[in-house]
Amino acid sequence: MHLGNYHTLWPSWLDRILNADRYDILIIGAGISGIGVACRLTQRFPDRSIAILERRSNVGGTWDLFRYPGIRSDSDMFTYAYDFKPWLRPEILAGGKQILGYLDETIDEFGIRDKILFSQHVEAANWDSGKATWTVTAIDADRDEQRTFVTPFLVVCAGYYDQDQGYMPEFPGADDFAGALIHPQHWPEDLDYTDKNVVVIGSGATAATVVPAMAAKARHVTMLQRSPTYFYPVPSKDPVFVATNWLLPTRLAARAARRRSHSLQYVLFNACRYWPGLMRRFLLRHVRKEIGPDVDMKHFTPRYAPWDERMCILPEDDLLHVVRNGKASIVTDQIETFTRSGIRLASGRELEADIIVSATGFNLRVFGGIRVTVDGKALHPNEQMTYKSVLVEDVPNLAVIFGYINFTWTAKVDLAAEYLCRLLEHLETTGQRVAIPRSDGARATEAGILDRLSAGYVQRGSGALPRQGDRDPWRVSHDVRHDRRMLLRAPVDDGILEFH
């Protein structure tokens, strides 16, 4: 049955009564994942009706939400960009505005702008086995009314963190602090930090970005961390791409850079896994060289092995350089309490601050906070296994898209989108409408889909995430070569997917 003609199965007058909009495929989220999936599906199925529901008034997801100083990618753009839309600039890392510009170009080039419905706050989705459809309810913020969408296939591209509220610990004495306490997820547009003392709490990618960006104008910036992080340097521009672009057309040079970067990331990650001691010495030796002999290496020496947590990429070693020249400093300690003028540490030291930035991460949020039910029965994601990291055990026609955490996010998104194309083609070819992953004897483990990392946000929220199984295809590999075989080459009808 051709899904493009699906609407003919439902009387149009009933749609009007129910105020329901019907689409062959419905995508939740117009961030980098939703846009990538929509482009793939539109290319493969130009005659099918596709809609993207976006809760914000702009595209971009993360890149539209976060506005803190220096916001940029923490993956190189040659691999972070879509395979079907190469990054054609020499910059290895890109700022938030550059990424939004790239996404806008992609939307227009692949003709999906008119498929995006903005200001749609999706609240619930229910699968009706009798009709073989999802009914999705959303609040249209512009019209201040509820809308209903009906689709046979639902794709959730809402990421895995809460966009409404970042993680802010309950700091003792925070109410006594006379200055501004800010979370990067909610950055004030009018914040002036010129000639101010700033303390940034945290040591992850956000802190490593904010500190050198604020150091350019602030009197002094202190990065306060409980434990150090591994840093990996990259040049601001890819010299090999710049050189090959003299000899090759830009798109060919970009594709060569993408392949090279994919290979380097794969080698780096696996080297950290197989030879952690060697890679630890390599990374720390570089830090020592850049910060000089006057800075204590204890602030740069993590307690864990490389890639147990996500590694921070530094363009031109910017963080290390502002520490070396004295515009910023790093303190490794515990917070005892906030005071009126700053922070008192467990060691007794006091840090003066006019502004404190709590770069303490985010809260995990499954399915974008959507209440998902199957025939009226609530779905509890932490009780279901994930199938090929794309579908959900026992749930019909539902894809949930997550990117890689140890590799560039979009590489996994693109593989998942291609797999969805294969699955939809299989349904059409065989005359089926429904695909449901059924356990083949695999058992759920205690591991969630992000358990490869020991980051704080994973530890806080892993229990709410879908489970991994004890065997393929229920395990999450975070290995692009393994996933390419599983998603693009293995048969769609593998005896595990049940078709109706």
Are the C-beta atoms of residues 457 and 362 closer than 8 Å to each other? yes
Tokens of 286: 């570089």
Q: Of 405, 382, 402, nearest to 453 (Cα)?
A: 405
Lookup: tokens for 41: 């599906």
For the stretch 327-350, pLDDT in tens is 999 999 999 999 999 999 999 999
State residue 448's pLDDT score.
67
Q: Are strands 120-128 and 355-358 parallel, antiparallel or unpaired?
A: unpaired
Q: Are β-strands 355-358 and 180-182 bridged in parallel, bridged antiparallel, or unpaired? A: parallel
Distances (CA, A) of 247 to 79, 118, 240: 21, 43, 11
Looking at residue 10, what is its pLDDT? 43
What is the separation of C-alpha 216 from the centre of its chain, rounded to a whole number of angstroms?
28
Domains of the chain listed by start with CATH number: 3-163+363-499 (3.50.50.60), 168-239+277-360 (3.50.50.60)
C-alpha torsion angle, residues 367, 44, 387, 396 (rounded to 10)? 70
Return the closest-CA partner of residue 500 out of 449, 415, 435, 416.
435
Per-residue model confidence as pLDDT tens for the chain (500 residues): 334 444 434 444 445 445 679 999 999 999 999 999 999 999 999 999 999 999 999 999 999 999 999 999 988 999 999 999 999 999 999 999 999 999 999 999 999 999 999 999 999 999 999 999 999 999 999 999 999 999 999 999 998 777 788 888 899 999 999 999 999 999 998 999 999 999 999 998 999 999 999 999 999 999 999 999 999 999 999 999 999 999 899 999 999 999 999 888 889 888 998 999 999 999 999 999 999 888 899 999 999 899 888 889 999 999 999 999 999 999 999 999 999 999 999 999 999 999 999 999 887 788 888 999 999 999 888 888 999 999 999 999 999 998 887 788 899 999 999 999 999 999 999 999 999 999 888 888 877 666 655 555 555 555 567 788 888 999 888 788 899 999 999 999 999 999 99
CA of residue 300 relative to chain centroid, distance: 26
Spatial strand order in the sheet of 220-225: 180-182, 355-358, 197-201, 220-225, 328-332
φ and ψ at 462, to 5 degrees? -60, -30
Q: Tell me: the pLDDT tens digits for 47-89? A: 999 999 999 999 999 999 999 999 999 889 999 999 999 999 9
| pLDDT reported for residue 18 | 54
Helix, strand, or coil here: 465? coil
Is residue 221 within 8 Å of 327, Cβ to Cβ? yes
- What pLDDT score does 6 carry? 43
Residue 302: predicted pLDDT: 93
The answer to whether 101 touches 199, Cβ cutoff 8 Å, is no
The strand pairing partners of 72, in sequence order, are 95
C-alpha–C-alpha distance, residues 74 and 403, integer Å: 14
* Per-residue model confidence as pLDDT tens digits over 348-369: 999 999 999 999 988 778 888 8
Cα-based distances in Å from 322 to 19, 191, 201, 206, 343:
57, 21, 17, 16, 22
Whole-number pLDDT of residue 3: 41
Q: What is the pTM of this model?
A: 0.91
Calpha distance 88→83 (Å, rounded): 12
For residue 337, give Cα distances in angstroms to 173, 184, 223, 445.
Answer: 5, 21, 16, 39
pLDDT of residue 1: 33
Per-residue pLDDT, 453:
54
Amino acid 32 reads I
pLDDT score for 294 = 87
